[in-house]
Amino acid sequence: MKKPISIIALLIFSLAYTAQNEAQDILNRILETGELRIGMSGDQPPFSMTATDGSLFGLDADMATGLANNIGVKAKLVKMRFKDLIPALQNGEIDMIVSGLTMTIDRNKKVAFVGPYLISGNSIITKSKEYSEAESVDVIDKKGVKIAVMQGTTSEEFVVANIENAQIYKSTTNNLAIKMLLEDKVDIVVAGYPTVAIALLENSSAGLYTIDQPFDYEPIGIAVAPSDPLLINLVQNYLHALERTEILDMLKVKWFEEGSWILDSPVIYQD
Protein backbone atom coordinates (compact mmCIF):
# COMPACT_ATOMS: atom_id res chain seq x y z
CA MET A 1 0.00 0.00 0.00
CA LYS A 2 2.89 2.36 0.65
CA LYS A 3 4.10 2.36 -2.93
CA PRO A 4 0.84 3.71 -4.50
CA ILE A 5 0.66 6.40 -1.81
CA SER A 6 4.22 7.42 -2.58
CA ILE A 7 3.44 7.61 -6.29
CA ILE A 8 0.35 9.74 -5.64
CA ALA A 9 2.33 12.05 -3.36
CA LEU A 10 5.04 12.34 -6.02
CA LEU A 11 2.44 13.21 -8.67
CA ILE A 12 0.88 15.86 -6.44
CA PHE A 13 4.31 17.34 -5.73
CA SER A 14 5.19 17.32 -9.44
CA LEU A 15 1.94 19.03 -10.38
CA ALA A 16 2.39 21.65 -7.66
CA TYR A 17 5.99 22.27 -8.73
CA THR A 18 4.98 22.58 -12.39
CA ALA A 19 2.13 24.96 -11.54
CA GLN A 20 4.46 27.11 -9.44
CA ASN A 21 6.99 27.30 -12.26
CA GLU A 22 4.29 28.16 -14.79
CA ALA A 23 2.98 30.87 -12.46
CA GLN A 24 6.44 32.40 -12.32
CA ASP A 25 7.05 32.13 -16.07
CA ILE A 26 5.26 35.38 -16.96
CA LEU A 27 7.06 37.52 -14.39
CA ASN A 28 10.37 35.80 -15.17
CA ARG A 29 9.86 36.47 -18.89
CA ILE A 30 9.14 40.13 -18.17
CA LEU A 31 12.32 40.46 -16.11
CA GLU A 32 14.46 38.49 -18.57
CA THR A 33 13.31 40.37 -21.68
CA GLY A 34 13.12 43.72 -19.90
CA GLU A 35 9.71 44.33 -21.44
CA LEU A 36 6.16 44.51 -20.04
CA ARG A 37 3.51 44.09 -22.75
CA ILE A 38 0.33 45.99 -21.86
CA GLY A 39 -2.74 45.73 -24.07
CA MET A 40 -5.08 48.68 -24.61
CA SER A 41 -7.50 49.77 -27.32
CA GLY A 42 -6.10 53.25 -27.99
CA ASP A 43 -9.65 54.46 -28.61
CA GLN A 44 -11.15 55.03 -25.16
CA PRO A 45 -10.66 58.64 -24.09
CA PRO A 46 -9.32 59.44 -21.57
CA PHE A 47 -8.13 55.92 -20.72
CA SER A 48 -6.12 55.32 -23.89
CA MET A 49 -5.90 57.34 -27.10
CA THR A 50 -3.80 57.24 -30.25
CA ALA A 51 -1.80 60.31 -31.21
CA THR A 52 -1.21 61.24 -34.84
CA ASP A 53 2.30 59.75 -34.60
CA GLY A 54 0.80 56.39 -33.55
CA SER A 55 1.84 56.58 -29.91
CA LEU A 56 -0.63 55.77 -27.12
CA PHE A 57 -1.41 58.14 -24.28
CA GLY A 58 -3.99 58.65 -21.55
CA LEU A 59 -4.67 57.62 -17.96
CA ASP A 60 -4.08 53.93 -18.65
CA ALA A 61 -0.92 54.63 -20.65
CA ASP A 62 0.45 56.67 -17.73
CA MET A 63 -0.39 53.93 -15.24
CA ALA A 64 1.07 51.17 -17.43
CA THR A 65 4.29 53.09 -18.04
CA GLY A 66 4.59 53.84 -14.34
CA LEU A 67 4.17 50.15 -13.49
CA ALA A 68 6.87 49.14 -15.96
CA ASN A 69 9.22 51.78 -14.52
CA ASN A 70 8.45 50.47 -11.04
CA ILE A 71 9.47 46.96 -12.11
CA GLY A 72 12.54 48.31 -13.90
CA VAL A 73 11.55 47.27 -17.43
CA LYS A 74 10.33 48.95 -20.61
CA ALA A 75 6.59 49.39 -21.20
CA LYS A 76 5.44 48.05 -24.55
CA LEU A 77 1.94 49.45 -25.13
CA VAL A 78 0.16 47.07 -27.51
CA LYS A 79 -2.79 48.54 -29.38
CA MET A 80 -5.60 46.19 -30.39
CA ARG A 81 -9.36 46.11 -30.74
CA PHE A 82 -11.13 46.15 -27.39
CA LYS A 83 -12.86 42.83 -28.02
CA ASP A 84 -9.50 41.16 -28.76
CA LEU A 85 -7.83 42.16 -25.48
CA ILE A 86 -8.96 39.27 -23.26
CA PRO A 87 -8.26 36.58 -25.91
CA ALA A 88 -4.79 38.11 -26.38
CA LEU A 89 -4.12 37.88 -22.63
CA GLN A 90 -5.35 34.29 -22.56
CA ASN A 91 -3.09 33.40 -25.50
CA GLY A 92 -0.03 35.01 -23.91
CA GLU A 93 0.29 37.75 -26.55
CA ILE A 94 0.25 40.39 -23.80
CA ASP A 95 1.05 40.34 -20.08
CA MET A 96 -1.87 42.42 -18.83
CA ILE A 97 -4.75 44.65 -19.90
CA VAL A 98 -5.01 48.28 -18.82
CA SER A 99 -7.83 49.61 -20.98
CA GLY A 100 -10.79 50.90 -19.01
CA LEU A 101 -11.87 47.29 -18.48
CA THR A 102 -14.92 46.78 -16.28
CA MET A 103 -14.58 44.01 -13.71
CA THR A 104 -17.48 41.65 -14.45
CA ILE A 105 -18.25 38.10 -13.35
CA ASP A 106 -18.07 36.77 -16.93
CA ARG A 107 -14.67 38.36 -17.50
CA ASN A 108 -13.46 37.19 -14.09
CA LYS A 109 -14.04 33.62 -15.26
CA LYS A 110 -11.31 34.18 -17.84
CA VAL A 111 -8.85 36.60 -16.21
CA ALA A 112 -7.87 37.84 -12.76
CA PHE A 113 -8.54 41.46 -11.84
CA VAL A 114 -6.59 43.90 -9.69
CA GLY A 115 -8.40 47.00 -8.50
CA PRO A 116 -10.66 48.76 -9.03
CA TYR A 117 -8.70 51.92 -9.76
CA LEU A 118 -11.83 53.75 -10.93
CA ILE A 119 -15.61 53.50 -10.49
CA SER A 120 -17.60 54.15 -13.66
CA GLY A 121 -21.20 53.52 -14.72
CA ASN A 122 -23.39 53.50 -17.80
CA SER A 123 -24.57 56.95 -18.84
CA ILE A 124 -25.83 58.66 -22.00
CA ILE A 125 -24.99 61.45 -24.40
CA THR A 126 -27.87 63.12 -26.19
CA LYS A 127 -29.03 66.34 -27.82
CA SER A 128 -32.41 65.98 -26.11
CA LYS A 129 -33.06 67.88 -22.89
CA GLU A 130 -35.90 65.45 -22.15
CA TYR A 131 -33.67 62.37 -22.32
CA SER A 132 -30.99 64.09 -20.21
CA GLU A 133 -33.50 64.28 -17.35
CA ALA A 134 -34.06 60.51 -17.38
CA GLU A 135 -33.75 58.82 -14.02
CA SER A 136 -34.40 55.35 -15.41
CA VAL A 137 -33.92 53.48 -18.68
CA ASP A 138 -37.69 53.48 -19.26
CA VAL A 139 -37.57 57.14 -20.30
CA ILE A 140 -35.31 56.40 -23.28
CA ASP A 141 -36.65 52.93 -24.11
CA LYS A 142 -39.34 54.04 -26.54
CA LYS A 143 -40.27 53.07 -30.08
CA GLY A 144 -38.70 55.42 -32.59
CA VAL A 145 -35.71 56.22 -30.34
CA LYS A 146 -32.34 55.29 -31.85
CA ILE A 147 -29.54 54.29 -29.48
CA ALA A 148 -25.90 53.72 -30.43
CA VAL A 149 -23.48 51.68 -28.31
CA MET A 150 -19.98 50.28 -28.76
CA GLN A 151 -19.68 46.53 -29.39
CA GLY A 152 -17.93 44.29 -26.89
CA THR A 153 -18.42 46.62 -23.92
CA THR A 154 -20.45 46.37 -20.74
CA SER A 155 -22.48 49.26 -22.14
CA GLU A 156 -23.58 46.94 -24.96
CA GLU A 157 -24.51 44.30 -22.38
CA PHE A 158 -26.46 46.92 -20.43
CA VAL A 159 -28.36 48.08 -23.52
CA VAL A 160 -29.20 44.56 -24.68
CA ALA A 161 -30.42 43.63 -21.20
CA ASN A 162 -32.50 46.76 -20.58
CA ILE A 163 -33.66 48.14 -23.94
CA GLU A 164 -36.69 46.44 -25.50
CA ASN A 165 -38.46 49.07 -27.60
CA ALA A 166 -35.82 51.52 -28.86
CA GLN A 167 -33.72 50.64 -31.93
CA ILE A 168 -30.13 49.67 -31.13
CA TYR A 169 -27.17 50.49 -33.38
CA LYS A 170 -23.90 48.75 -32.53
CA SER A 171 -20.71 50.60 -33.50
CA THR A 172 -17.11 49.42 -33.56
CA THR A 173 -15.90 52.36 -31.44
CA ASN A 174 -17.33 54.97 -29.08
CA ASN A 175 -16.03 57.65 -31.41
CA LEU A 176 -18.15 56.31 -34.27
CA ALA A 177 -21.22 56.18 -32.01
CA ILE A 178 -20.69 59.81 -30.98
CA LYS A 179 -20.21 60.77 -34.63
CA MET A 180 -23.59 59.21 -35.41
CA LEU A 181 -25.15 61.33 -32.67
CA LEU A 182 -23.53 64.55 -33.95
CA GLU A 183 -24.82 63.77 -37.44
CA ASP A 184 -28.35 63.13 -36.05
CA LYS A 185 -28.30 59.47 -37.14
CA VAL A 186 -29.11 58.39 -33.57
CA ASP A 187 -30.76 60.09 -30.61
CA ILE A 188 -28.66 58.69 -27.79
CA VAL A 189 -25.25 57.14 -27.17
CA VAL A 190 -24.91 54.82 -24.19
CA ALA A 191 -21.36 54.64 -22.81
CA GLY A 192 -19.36 54.58 -19.60
CA TYR A 193 -19.28 57.77 -17.58
CA PRO A 194 -15.62 58.61 -18.42
CA THR A 195 -16.35 58.38 -22.16
CA VAL A 196 -19.40 60.60 -21.72
CA ALA A 197 -17.46 63.20 -19.73
CA ILE A 198 -14.74 63.48 -22.36
CA ALA A 199 -17.25 63.60 -25.23
CA LEU A 200 -18.91 66.58 -23.58
CA LEU A 201 -15.53 68.32 -23.20
CA GLU A 202 -14.52 67.63 -26.80
CA ASN A 203 -17.86 68.76 -28.21
CA SER A 204 -18.68 71.61 -25.85
CA SER A 205 -20.40 73.65 -28.56
CA ALA A 206 -22.51 70.80 -30.00
CA GLY A 207 -25.41 71.15 -27.57
CA LEU A 208 -24.91 67.79 -25.91
CA TYR A 209 -26.42 66.70 -22.60
CA THR A 210 -26.05 63.83 -20.17
CA ILE A 211 -27.89 62.52 -17.12
CA ASP A 212 -27.09 63.60 -13.55
CA GLN A 213 -26.29 60.10 -12.30
CA PRO A 214 -25.24 56.93 -14.17
CA PHE A 215 -27.85 54.19 -14.52
CA ASP A 216 -25.54 51.79 -12.66
CA TYR A 217 -22.03 51.58 -11.22
CA GLU A 218 -19.08 49.62 -12.59
CA PRO A 219 -15.60 48.96 -11.13
CA ILE A 220 -12.70 49.27 -13.57
CA GLY A 221 -9.53 47.27 -13.02
CA ILE A 222 -6.34 45.78 -14.46
CA ALA A 223 -6.60 42.27 -15.94
CA VAL A 224 -3.78 39.74 -15.61
CA ALA A 225 -3.45 36.00 -16.19
CA PRO A 226 -5.07 34.06 -13.30
CA SER A 227 -2.11 31.63 -13.21
CA ASP A 228 0.34 34.35 -12.19
CA PRO A 229 -0.09 35.16 -8.46
CA LEU A 230 3.31 36.85 -8.26
CA LEU A 231 2.45 39.34 -10.99
CA ILE A 232 -1.01 39.86 -9.46
CA ASN A 233 0.61 40.67 -6.12
CA LEU A 234 3.07 43.06 -7.79
CA VAL A 235 0.27 44.96 -9.52
CA GLN A 236 -1.76 45.06 -6.29
CA ASN A 237 1.16 46.64 -4.47
CA TYR A 238 1.66 49.16 -7.28
CA LEU A 239 -1.99 50.27 -7.24
CA HIS A 240 -1.91 50.49 -3.46
CA ALA A 241 1.16 52.74 -3.65
CA LEU A 242 -0.53 54.98 -6.25
CA GLU A 243 -3.52 55.39 -3.96
CA ARG A 244 -1.52 55.98 -0.75
CA THR A 245 0.72 58.60 -2.38
CA GLU A 246 -2.34 60.25 -4.04
CA ILE A 247 -0.65 59.92 -7.44
CA LEU A 248 -3.74 58.11 -8.73
CA ASP A 249 -5.91 61.07 -7.69
CA MET A 250 -3.58 63.45 -9.51
CA LEU A 251 -3.77 61.32 -12.65
CA LYS A 252 -7.57 61.36 -12.50
CA VAL A 253 -7.59 65.14 -12.20
CA LYS A 254 -5.20 65.42 -15.15
CA TRP A 255 -7.22 63.21 -17.47
CA PHE A 256 -10.81 63.74 -16.29
CA GLU A 257 -11.01 67.30 -15.01
CA GLU A 258 -8.34 69.56 -16.50
CA GLY A 259 -9.03 68.77 -20.14
CA SER A 260 -5.96 70.67 -21.40
CA TRP A 261 -4.71 67.52 -23.15
CA ILE A 262 -7.65 67.78 -25.56
CA LEU A 263 -6.08 70.89 -27.08
CA ASP A 264 -2.44 69.90 -26.57
CA SER A 265 -2.55 66.35 -27.99
CA PRO A 266 -3.61 65.62 -31.57
CA VAL A 267 -5.69 62.45 -31.54
CA ILE A 268 -6.83 60.02 -34.22
CA TYR A 269 -9.51 57.39 -33.77
CA GLN A 270 -10.21 54.13 -35.56
CA ASP A 271 -13.76 54.07 -36.90
pLDDT given at position 24? 60
**pTM higher than the cut 0.75:** yes
- Sequence-separated (6 or more) residues with CB below 8 Å from residue 138: none
Check residues 203 and 95 and name the one with the higher pLDDT: 95
DSSP reduced 3-state for 123: strand
DSSP reduced 3-state for 259: coil
Region 142-163: mean pLDDT is 95
Strand partners, 231: none
Return the minimum-mean-pLDDT range out of 34-48, 76-90, 205-219, 256-270: 256-270
Tens digit of pLDDT for each residue in 74-129?
999 999 999 999 999 999 999 999 999 999 999 999 999 999 999 999 999 999 99
pLDDT given at position 123? 96
Tens digit of pLDDT for each residue in 165-193?
999 999 988 889 999 999 999 999 999 98
Return the minimum-mean-pLDDT range out of 58-67, 176-185, 248-257: 248-257
Q: What pLDDT band is residue 264 in, cutting at 50, 70 and 90?
A: low
The pLDDT of residue 7 is above 70:
no
How many angstroms separate the Cα of 218 from the Cα of each of 102, 149, 153, 159? Answer: 6, 16, 12, 14
Check residues 253 and 17 and name the one with the higher pLDDT: 253
